[in-house]
Amino acid sequence: MTTLKHQAPTKKIHSFHPPQRTLMGPGPSEINPRVMAAMSLPTIGYLDPVFVEMMEELKSLLRYAYQTKNALTFPVSGPGSVGMEYCFVNMVAPGDRVIVCRNGVFGGRMIENVERAGGIPIVVEDEWGQPCDPQKLEDALRKNPGVRVVGFVHAETSTGVQSDAKSLVQVAHRHDALVIMDAVTSLAGTPVLVDDWEVDAVYSASQKCLSCTPGLSPVSFNDRVVEHVKARKDKIHSWFMDMNLLLGYWGATTRTYHHTAPTNSLYALHEALLLIKEEGLENCWARHHRHHLALKAGLEAMGLQYLVDEGARLPQMNAVHIPQAVQSREAEVRKTLLTEFNLEIGAGLGPLAGKIWRVGIMGYSCKPENVMLCLSALGSVLSDMGLPVKVGEAEGAAHHAYAQIHAQEAQHARSKKVANLK
């Protein structure tokens, strides 16, 4: 009989039951009950014909979300950071020169991936809160002929800024460079048009505007990337993320065992993408924009100012300056929102730590009751701290914005109906 050297913990441990939170930070977002139910379905084998059929549907739904016909469109088993690494480890060989446009935290992570892949990063800097400048990219490519890859973040989660992806891709392609685009926070929240913009490689994450469980990273690659990777003379420096091996696992005709897929998470992603298809992608984008306008009206009624200029703001990630009077207590504000209102908002990162709050309205979290709760709760906390915030003003401003949006949408529908009758 074997004697255990380490006994079970003496503290009584119960089943874990997390509190019900309203998630309005930088992610994860709340999950639709249909997606939660999908996760609880029976687990089956990853080569089961029924599961293989579901994988094909999942790829088709992802192509719709990305607006692409790319055959190689699938979810990598891992969070968005794994999707990022998957792109760089396959596309960057040791010694390759790679331009990265950095205007926030996640551009910085791209640089880290270039270095770890053995590449030589060339950094194009823009101020945090500003979009990536296509002219700066043009200048860098002219100065550095022979660059193989350009990477940029379409929607910078750390600041809530959106860059002009189409222009950046066009600049890169004029210099014969492949493009890696981070769409972690943009996919399904704002237009992502992979084929129209001719993006070569793109990655996202399941827990943002897709409103699925964290742990999956949808990626898509065009034929140029596949040919580029197949032509490499060296081995990809990661067995798990070797595109050549995964081609056999997520390919159109074969299923070669590669790893044990996170089956129940994939059920959830299938259901989350089906919800987007049922709503309609354009309606999904419009919903994020609608609730952004109401949230913006309320935040500005409280005297809060946006970090990002209006033309480059992400509707799903609202970064606002923290009032000077409460900057030293900003963590207390977030803690009070969490403990008293069960509401989560995000803090600033890097040089913006303690200077901004990040309020997310992503996926299933993007709904009027969340907007109104956030405005009411934040206004209440700031008022208690002595700021000149009148309780009810922010909610009134949001209601007024909703009324205006409703009137505009009704007028648009009437005009469309008349046009159809003609």
Residue 97 contacts residue 120 (beta carbons within 8 Å): yes
Q: Which residues, other chains included, contact 9 with Cβ-Cβ below 8 Å and sequence gap of 6+?
A: none
Q: Which residues, other chains included, contact 104 with Cβ-Cβ below 8 Å and sequence gap of 6+?
A: 128, 153, 156, 157, 158, 159, 161, 349, 350
The pLDDT confidence band at residue 90, using thresholds 50, 70 and 90, is very high
Q: Measure the CA–CA gap between 229 and 91, rounded to whole angstroms.
A: 6
Residue 219 contacts residue 78 (beta carbons within 8 Å): no
Q: Measure the CA–CA gap between 149 and 107, rounded to whole angstroms.
A: 14
Q: Which CATH number fits domain 280-421: 3.90.1150.10, 3.10.620.30, 3.40.50.1970, 3.40.50.620?
A: 3.90.1150.10
Q: What are phi and psi of 272, to 5 degrees?
A: -65, -40
Q: Measure the CA–CA gap between 404 and 246, rounded to whole angstroms.
A: 49
Range of lowest pLDDT (22-36, 51-65, 248-262, 405-419)? 248-262
Q: Which residues, other chains included, contact 256 with Cβ-Cβ below 8 Å and sequence gap of 6+?
A: 248, 249
Q: Which residues of 368-381 are buried (b: 16+ CB within 10 A; e: fewer)?
A: eebbbbbbbbbbbb
Average pLDDT over residues 356-362: 98
At 235 the pLDDT is: 93
Cα–Cα distance list, 245 to 203, 217, 241, 242, 301 (Å): 18, 17, 8, 6, 54
Q: Measure the CA–CA gap between 407 and 32, rounded to whole angstroms.
A: 28
The residue extents of the domains of the chain are 33-278, 280-421
The pLDDT confidence band at residue 418, using thresholds 50, 70 and 90, is confident
Rounded to a whole number, what is the distance in angstroms from the first to the last CA of the chain? Answer: 88
pLDDT over 70 for what percent of the chain?
A: 98
* Full DSSP string of 269-295: HHHHHHHHHHH-HHHHHHHHHHHHHHH
State the angle between helix axes of 368-384 and 393-421 in degrees (0 to 180), rounded to the nearest 10: 160
Cα–Cα distance list, 380 to 223, 239, 318, 393 (Å): 53, 52, 19, 11
Length of the chain (residues): 422
At 326 the pLDDT is: 96
Dmax (CA) for the chain in angstroms is 88
Q: Which residues, other chains included, contact 245 with Cβ-Cβ below 8 Å and sequence gap of 6+?
A: 239, 258
The pLDDT confidence band at residue 4, using thresholds 50, 70 and 90, is confident
Q: Measure the CA–CA gap between 286 and 295, rounded to whole angstroms.
A: 14
At 28 the pLDDT is: 97
Average pLDDT over residues 107-114: 98
Look up the pTM and report it. Answer: 0.95
Residue 47 DSSP code: T
At 345 the pLDDT is: 98
At 254 the pLDDT is: 61
At 139 the pLDDT is: 98
Does the structure show a pLDDT above 60 at 84?
yes
- The model's pLDDT over 236-294, given as tens digits with 9 standing for 90+, comes to 999 889 998 877 777 665 667 778 889 999 999 999 999 999 999 999 999 999 999 99
Amino acid at 404: Q
Paired with 181 in beta bridges are 152, 202
3-state class (DSSP) for residue 140: helix
Assign a CATH topology to domain 33-278.
Aspartate Aminotransferase; domain 2 (3.40.640)
Residue 343 contacts residue 24 (beta carbons within 8 Å): yes
Cβ atoms < 10 Å from Cβ of 86 = 26
The pLDDT confidence band at residue 422, using thresholds 50, 70 and 90, is low
- Tokens 């992570």 sit at which residue? 109
More confident residue, 254 or 359: 359
Residue 223 contacts residue 247 (beta carbons within 8 Å): no
Please state, rounded to an integer, the average pLDDT across all residues of the chain: 95
Amino acid at 252: A
Average pLDDT over residues 222-226: 96
